[in-house]
Amino acid sequence: MLKGKTVLLCVTGGIACYKSASLASALVKQGANVQVLMTRNATEFIGPHTFESLTGNRVSVDTFDRNYQFQVEHIALADQADVVLVAPATANVLAKLAHGLADDMLTTTVLACDCPKLAAPAMNTRMYENPVTQDNLDLLRKYGWQIIEPASGRLACGAVGKGKMTEPEELLAYVEYAVGHEKDMTGLRVLVTAGPTQEALDPVRYLTNHSTGKMGYAIAKAAASRGASVTLVTGPTSLSRPVCVETVDILSAQDMFEAVTSRAPEQDIIIKAAAVADYRPAAQAEDKIKKSGTDADLSLPLARTQDILAWLREHKRPGQFLCGFSMETRDMVENSRKKLEKKRLDLIAANNLKEPGAGFGVATNLLTLISPDDMVELPLFSMASAAHPLRARTLARGGVPHPKNRGSYMCRSRVFVIQFS
């Protein structure tokens, strides 16, 4: 995802420097060329040799180092950079960057960069919450910086509060979001559903399914990385929330119905990847259901849940793209075509639970994409790299309103069909 990209990793003088070493390693593993800049204070926490060993590149600290090739080094580094990430970003360096001060190699180079810029603040809670620091962060946002909010917890100084630098895995996700893909979906609004629902029997038990939400989360992440404004409506999962995605948590099928239908009218693309319960207990017991004194079986009356796709079909606006998912155990194509026609979908992504690599809880999937007039069988793919909207192999009928002109249409094959390669 980051192959061929140059990441300018700027490390400033905070205890969170040790996390930056893990981040540098993760970036390199993703194929990035990582150039590290350090302030003098940062070298008091971690040595430049650590980063040089991890990245294979020389670390820049001193503006006046005479051991460089004959070139204006800070300008040369700025020209190479596809993205700047300041992590950790101390209050001091944030203040300098906000006001254009350039008094060392790091700040001078960053001032010369015209690529996307990210900053991950890390400091004591009172320093972070100080109005001066907050004003500096607002000023950086005004200038186009993306500020990655720090986490809350126990800080190195012993205080408990907000100020911990975001973990390397999440920082990597922000870098991938910034430069991992062309922003060819900018202006499009996408709603994705994911995960299972839980239908309560009593205060202790509920009915659910084996969905993990991996496919829906991968689609949401991919659409966001291409510039779309993404809303993810998700049932309970153990997955990390995708960055730069509005996440709406729900429990029951009714919760999902309300969350989706209230947001549907404004969406250009709706992708229903969640495994929503078709039935719920007709009534929820107020107390835990006890075993009877006999060995008699227990029967529980069930009621139908509201059909979200049916509602979307009836309220679909012109140009809106509607995609459903169909998991089957037999007659996959026949059953999925029936669903496509009944719900009047633009596309349905079908898979067979019994096929190796296509079940619940696995990192791969095996899909057949079916439209009203075409069908494509896709090979086994990894979800982590798969869900990139929308470079269709086929299925180029119809369209989605172009974000710059809601009266015109872009070819569906460019906008929505999921790329699985």
Q: Known catalytic residues?
A: 157
| Element (DSSP H or E) covering residue 190 | strand 189-194
Closest CA to 21 of 42, 43, 46: 46
**CA gyration radius, the chain:** 25
| Cβ atoms of residues 61 and 38 within 8 Å | yes
Q: How many CA atoms lie within 13 A of 114 on its CB side?
A: 3
Closest CA to 171 of 36, 23, 52: 23
Is the previous residue joined to 131 through a cis bond, with omega within 30 degrees of 0? no
| Cβ atoms of residues 371 and 199 within 8 Å | no
Dist CA 255 CA 200 (whole Å): 12
Dist CA 73 CA 47 (whole Å): 21
Dist CA 130 CA 292 (whole Å): 62
User: Helix or strand or coil: residue 326?
Assistant: strand
User: Helix or strand or coil: residue 70?
Assistant: coil
